[in-house]
Each structure stands twice: as structure tokens, then as C-alpha cells.
């Protein structure tokens, strides 16, 4: 996957790499050239990015900065508000 950066002087093509801590088929999967992040990735991220992600676990969905997870996924949250110590 590559990202193209344009400046007034030139166009630079830079390969885009996901950090090594993310594992394909666990944190993300490929669909054609698209990277699709899993629910686990979003939970570990800690808040909604607001980009309309397919596996967004936050409520209401697709609202940037949301940290409240839907009940379906709240058991995976490690915060004190969900009963963890």
C-alpha cells in the first residue's frame, strides 16, 4: 500500500506500513486494496475515529471521540466503569 504526498516541488510516493504490533486477520484484514480494521482494533484504539468504520463498537456509531461502547462489546472494555478492578 502506498500513500502519495504532493508538494510544490515534487511528488513523493511513500509506502504505508501498519505498526508491527498489529496482526493481519486479528486487528485488520485486507479487502482488495482497503484495510478493514476489526472490532478488537477499535476497542484497543480507545475511541471512535468518526470515519464510518464497518466494525465500530462505539455508541452512537461514527461519532468522533466517542468512548461509550455498545452493550454487545462492553465486556471487552477494561475500565472501572464496567466493573473491572
Model pTM?
0.61
CA 56 – CA 39 distance, rounded (Å): 6
Helix (H, G, I), strand (E, B) or coil at 79: coil
Helix (H, G, I), strand (E, B) or coil at 84: coil
Written in H, E and C, the secondary structure of 13-57 is: EEECCCCCCCCECCCEEEECCEEEECHHHHHHHCCCCCCCCCCCC
- Please report the pLDDT score of residue 80 as a whole number: 47
CA 30 – CA 66 distance, rounded (Å): 25
pLDDT tens-digit profile, the chain (85 residues): 444 444 455 555 555 565 668 889 999 999 998 999 999 998 888 899 899 999 999 998 888 988 888 888 776 655 544 444 4
Amino acid at each position: 500500500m502506498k500513500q502519495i504526498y504532493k508538494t510544490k516541488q515534487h511528488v513523493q510516493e511513500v509506502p504505508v506500513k501498519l505498526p508491527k504490533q498489529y496482526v493481519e486477520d486479528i486487528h485488520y484484514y485486507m479487502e482488495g486494496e482497503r484495510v478493514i480494521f476489526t472490532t478488537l482494533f477499535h476497542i484497543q484504539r480507545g475511541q471512535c475515529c468518526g470515519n464510518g468504520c464497518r466494525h465500530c463498537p462505539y455508541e452512537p456509531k461514527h461519532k468522533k471521540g466517542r468512548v461509550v461502547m455498545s452493550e454487545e462489546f462492553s465486556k471487552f472494555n477494561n475500565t472501572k466503569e464496567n466493573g473491572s478492578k
